[in-house]
Amino acid sequence: METRKVIVVGGGAAGFFCAISIAELNSSTKVTLLEAGKKTLRKVKISGGGRCNLTHHCFEPKLLTSHYPRGQRELLGPFFQWQPKDMIQWFTERGIATKREADGRVFPVSNSSQSIIDCFEKEVGKKDIQVLRNSMVTDIQCIKNTNSWLVETEGGATHEGDQLCIATGTLKNSRISSCLEKLGHTLSPPIPSLFAFNVPSHPLSDLSGLSLQDAEVKIPSLSISQMGPVLITHKGISGPAVIKLSSWAAKKLFFKDYKFEVLINWLGSNGGMEGRMVLKNVRKEHPRSIIGNCPYPLIPKRLWGKLLEQQSIAKDITWAHLSKEQEKSIYEYLTAFRLPVDGKSTNKEEFVTCGGVSLTDVNFKTLESKKAKGLFFAGECLDIDGVTGGFNFQSAWTTARIAATRIAK
């Protein structure tokens, strides 16, 4: 019997896991992995601040999908086939112990992304997978009479495979977008996701470094909001709530050229009627105490002082001297603090690109193209992206494993 040949394009998380899985599930397949760069697994290396947040401790497929602004519906079936629990077990069986942090993020116990890279490289060696670096794929063609695939790399070398898996990450600099379009695929334009909001002439810049664990950030023009920790930076606002919001609103904010207004509710889940009553009660019960003493235990003193300053309310007047209008104004500043955003800053810990191969053109039971037989996709080249927390690697592992399962059959 002739050995089946498979080509995987892209030596990142999805490409490596796909290539290894194919060889693991069908040892008679010859797998060649083509990587454009000098080095493979570069993003894995820098991921999670060098610690690699490899997945999230969320084992319920439906709940897991709720962390994907794009790909939520399509990933449900795949997560029933390969999910964080499977990936953790896969690593454990290969000697990589993992740990879960309080917020659910999962890391290798070693706290080093290098252990993930070493594990993949060891598997690639054991399974005799051919990894060709400095091999930027520039052309892809389907050979009609044999139903196989021919890829050409920069410099003119060609490789033939019975099946082909595209795992190039973002298509932005991949040089294969036009080939995929020629094959009938629609591509959504690459657009950044996971970023902080810049606020020029930032009124809170001298509070830079201050963070609130429970706040709410809203974009009224998009009717979208997110609760969670917010960090005030010298450039604007950041922190998990902001980064998650950027992900949910990524495409719409791109078309607004990152110019929009946000409203911050500094009281977060402690706002509403309860939060309003705190002000009313303090006026009634402690009329002689001074306003400078913040009545909200979770609002940092510096922020409280700044909010009063912005409304020109002296810190040393007593609650009895506060007018009804001033009380109303304090509450508005606390629950709907306006900030005009103009621009974004990339999140250094983790950033992804949304956009890529349109999901309607892909069969999510197999990750095979609906446009061309024998062509598969895995990872960030698909129009899928998650919020921070290990979700982006998980979608790369899942799509890679499912593509590999079908290829190996």
Ligand X SMILES: Cc1cc2nc3c(=O)[nH]c(=O)nc-3n(C[C@H](O)[C@H](O)[C@H](O)COP(=O)(O)OP(=O)(O)OC[C@H]3O[C@@H](n4cnc5c(N)ncnc54)[C@H](O)[C@@H]3O)c2cc1C
Integer Cα distance of 17 and 42 in angstroms: 14
How close are the terminal C-alpha atoms of the chain, in Å? 15
Q: Which is nearer to ligand X, 337 or 391 (CB)?
A: 391
Q: Which is nearer to ligand X, 267 or 375 (CB)?
A: 375
DSSP string, 329-346: HHHHHHH-EEEEEE-EEE
Closest CB 350 distance from ligand X, rounded Å? 4
The pair phi, psi for residue 398, each rounded to 5°, is -65, -50
3-state secondary structure of 377: strand
C-beta closer to ligand X: residue 251 or 286: 251
In whole angstroms, the minimum distance from the beta carbon of 44 to ligand X comes to 6
Choice between 176 and 245, CB closer to ligand X: 176
Least Å from the CB of residue 308 to ligand X: 39
C-alpha distance from residue 311 to each of 92, 96, 328, 402 (Å): 56, 55, 11, 57
| Distance separating alpha carbons of residues 48 and 342, to the nearest angstrom | 27
Give 88 or 303: the residue with its C-beta nearer to ligand X.
88
Distance of closest approach, residue 111 Cβ to ligand X, in angstroms:
12
Specify whether the CB–CB gap between 375 and 369 falls below 8 A: yes
User: Torsions phi, psi of 236, nearest 5?
Assistant: 170, -130
Minimum CB separation from ligand X for residue 166, in Å? 9
> Would you say 10 or 268 has its CB closer to ligand X?
10
| Min dist. Cβ of residue 5 to ligand X (A) | 17
Residue among 404, 406, 409 nearest 8 (CA): 404
Q: Summarize as ranges the residues that interact with ligand X (CB under 6 A).
A: 9-15, 34-37, 42-43, 46-48, 52-53, 135-137, 167-169, 174-176, 350-352, 379-380, 390-393, 396
DSSP assignment of 62-91 equals: HHHHTT-TBTHHHHHHHHHHS-HHHHHHHH
Please say whether the dihedral angle defined by the alpha carbons of residues 226, 231, 232 and 237, taken in this order, is positive or negative.
negative
State the nearest-atom distance from the C-beta of 36 to ligand X, in Å: 3
Q: How far apart are CA 222 and CA 249, in angstroms?
A: 8
Query: Rounded distance, CA 16 to CA 123, Å?
Result: 9
**Residue 338 contacts residue 261 (beta carbons within 8 Å):** yes
Choice between 168 and 405, CB closer to ligand X? 168
Decide whether 159 or 202 has the Cβ nearer to ligand X.
159
Token code pair at residue 403: 């593509």
The torsion angle over the Cα atoms of residues 262, 351, 241 and 356, rounded to 10 degrees, is 70
Q: Which two tokens stand for residue 350?
A: 């983790």
Q: In the bound complex, which residue of the shown chain has the CB atom lying closest to ligand X?
A: 12
Q: How far is the CB of 163 from ligand X (least distance, A)?
A: 16
Nearer to ligand X, 37 or 229 (CB): 37
Write down the least CB distance from residue 182 to ligand X, Å. Answer: 15
